[in-house]
Structures are given as C-alpha cells and as structure tokens.
Structure 1
Amino acid sequence: MITAVHDGAPVGMACQSFTSLSLEPAYISFAPALTSTTWPRIRAAGTFVVNVLAADQQDVCRAMGRSGGDKFADVDWAPARNGAPRLAGSIAWIEADVDHILPGGDHEIVIGRVSELELPRDAAPLLFYKGAYAGISG
C-alpha cells in the first residue's frame, strides 16, 4: 500500500508493482496507472510510505484498494516521520520522497528516494497473484 497526506487528509492506494531499485543511494520504484485517481494526490504530496502488508491483512488491502469513500475509516494507522500513514500490522514501512517520474505506457514509473525504513513485524507478506490472495510456502 502506498500512503500519503494530501490537503491534510490521508490518502492511499493498492500498488500492483513495487520493487527495490538501488541500495546506494536507496531507491524504490512503483508504477501507478494513469487512470488512478489517488496517485495524483500522492504525487502532489511529494512524500509517501510504502506499507508492506502481512498475510493476515487482506481486509486492509481490500479497504485501501477500493475506490471512493474513506479508505482509512476502519484502518488503524499513525503518521510516519514524513507525515504519511503507517498502517498498523505492516511488516515493513518504507518512507520515501518522490525523486523521479518517468513515462511507462499506461502507467507512470515512480522512483522514490528512501528516507526511513522500519521492519516492525516478522510475518509472511500478503501477495496477490492471478486475481487472488496468495501466500509463500516454503
């Protein structure tokens, strides 16, 4: 989940593709669709948090992935150092600043410069594959 604060209110969106880009300097990347109504507000904020959800947080993913309404109504969160929402129960919080935005077909490629990283919980990540939630077996 990508979260930010825009005009004093929390905003968030489910992210389809996210990756670590560079260790030195620390960069991450994600690719929001051009049709996203939330991405322009996150872009305007200039800072964001990537919340890596745990396998038991499907309800949070559903809440943040829906269109319209108050996505944060039933989601427990606290502000990160950069002010963006850190979603409770996440296995990682990555705070970043928007550094570059590149064209990517029907998406934009966002490169964020990492400012903070915290791993508050040791749990399996939530995955979404072929239209369904999935886990990692091993």
Structure 2
Amino acid sequence: MTVTSSLDAAPGPAGGEPPYPADLLRATLRRQAASVAVVTVPGPAGFTATSFTSASLEPALVSFYLGSAASTAAAVREAPVFAVHLLGAQQAELAKAFARSGVDRFAGVPWAPRDGGVPVIEGVAAWLTARTVHVADIGDHFLVVGRVLAAGGDGTQAPLVHHNGTFGTFGTIPAA
C-alpha cells in the first residue's frame, strides 16, 4: 500500500510543506459520490446534507452531521423531531435552495407539517421523519441521531448525487 500526503487541488502552506489535514480530507471526499438530502426541522428550518446515513435497523435509527457554525445549527440542535428528504435527479435546484444562507429556503416549496410539526417536502423521491434521540459535538460539526417515526415517497425517481462539486445521477451497469 502506498500512502501519500498530497492530492491534486489540496493546497498547503507556502514553502512546499504538505497540505493541511482539512484540505486533504476535503479534496479526498470530493471524490466520493454521495446522495443528496434536505433535512428539515420545525420552525421551519432546513439545509442540504450529504452526510445522511442509516445508523441501526433495530431500533430503526438514522443520523446526519451539520457544521456547528451553520445558520440552521441552533434550530437543528434544539429540534425534537426532524425530516430527511432524499432528492431525485430532477431536484438539484431544491438542493441548491436549501444550501443557500440568508434566504427563505421554503419559498415556493410545497410542504406539509407532520410528526411534531416537522416540514415534509412534497414530491421528493423518499422521506422519513424521526425523533431526535442523541446529539453530540464532533469536531467542528455535531452529530444528530434519530429514531424513525414514519416514511414515504414514490421511490420511482433516479437519485440526485453529489460528486466532485457538482450534481449528477446514478445509472446501473449492465450485468455481464
């Protein structure tokens, strides 16, 4: 195995020193394709996330991370419930809208309140609601874990994927 401390597009300090670890991590993770989700909490508040994942099947737990300095951090940290919306390939504009700061992210977005008043966005590929069961500070982010309450969605849309700073979708490889 070869280990290196540099990647293309990973700037470091002047003088030929290796890149900062955060720059290495950022450059490396740009190469990982990730599903795109919008997380919402009562208020309403919400943000675009690529850090959503399942945490456990029994009990049914899901998790995500959010930067501690994010504009929605306080609302998310205090929320007793949240919703996760997995976006379809045609919903890149929705992902971009929920990634912007200083705007009404819900403007023009059809949604309805569900469990505990959490906004559930209509027309997404899939959604779920969860009750927050754990919040923990992890470096410059915090982790939120929730127990799944309900789920839905039509499940027919191709997924929206984020890779190398841009949006795309997934296509299957034909069987050999």
Could you say whether these structures have the same fold, taking a TM-score greater than 0.5 normalized by the shorter chain as the test? yes
Contact between 2:87 and 2:125, CA under 8 Å: does it hold in 1? yes
1:59, 1:14 → 2: CA distance?
11
**Counterpart of 1:40 in 2: which secondary structure?**
helix
Picking from 146, 156, 161, the partner of 1:112 is 146
Q: Number of matched residues? A: 135
Contact 1:93 1:118 in 2 (8 A): yes
For 1:83-94, list aligned pairs within 5 A.
83-94=117-128
Q: Pick from 90, 106, 110 the counterpart of residue 56 of structure 1.
A: 90
Corresponding residue for 2:156?
122
Q: How does 1:70-109 map to 2 (within 5 A)?
A: 70-109=104-143
Determine the C-alpha separation between the residues in 2 that align with 1:82 and 1:129: 34
**Aligned mate of 2:102, from 68, 72, 90:** 68
Query: Unaligned stretches of 5+ in structure 2?
Result: 1-37
Among 58, 61, 75, which residue is 1:24 paired with? 58
Q: Which runs of 4+ in 1 moved over 6 A?
A: none
Paired residue secondary structure (1:82): helix
Ranges in structure 1 where 5+ consecutive residues have no aligned partner: none
Query: How high is the sequence identity, in percent, across the aligned residues?
Result: 38
Alignment root-mean-square deviation, CA: 1.3
Question: How far apart are residue 23 of structure 1 and its match?
Answer: 0.6
Deviations 1:58-115 (A, max 9, x none): 1111111100121111211112233211112111111011111122211111111111
Residue 82 of structure 2 aligns to which amino acid in structure 1?
F
Query: Deviation per CA, 1:42-62, whole angstroms, max 9, x where unpaired?
Result: 222211100111110111111
Normalising by structure 2, we get a TM-score of 0.72
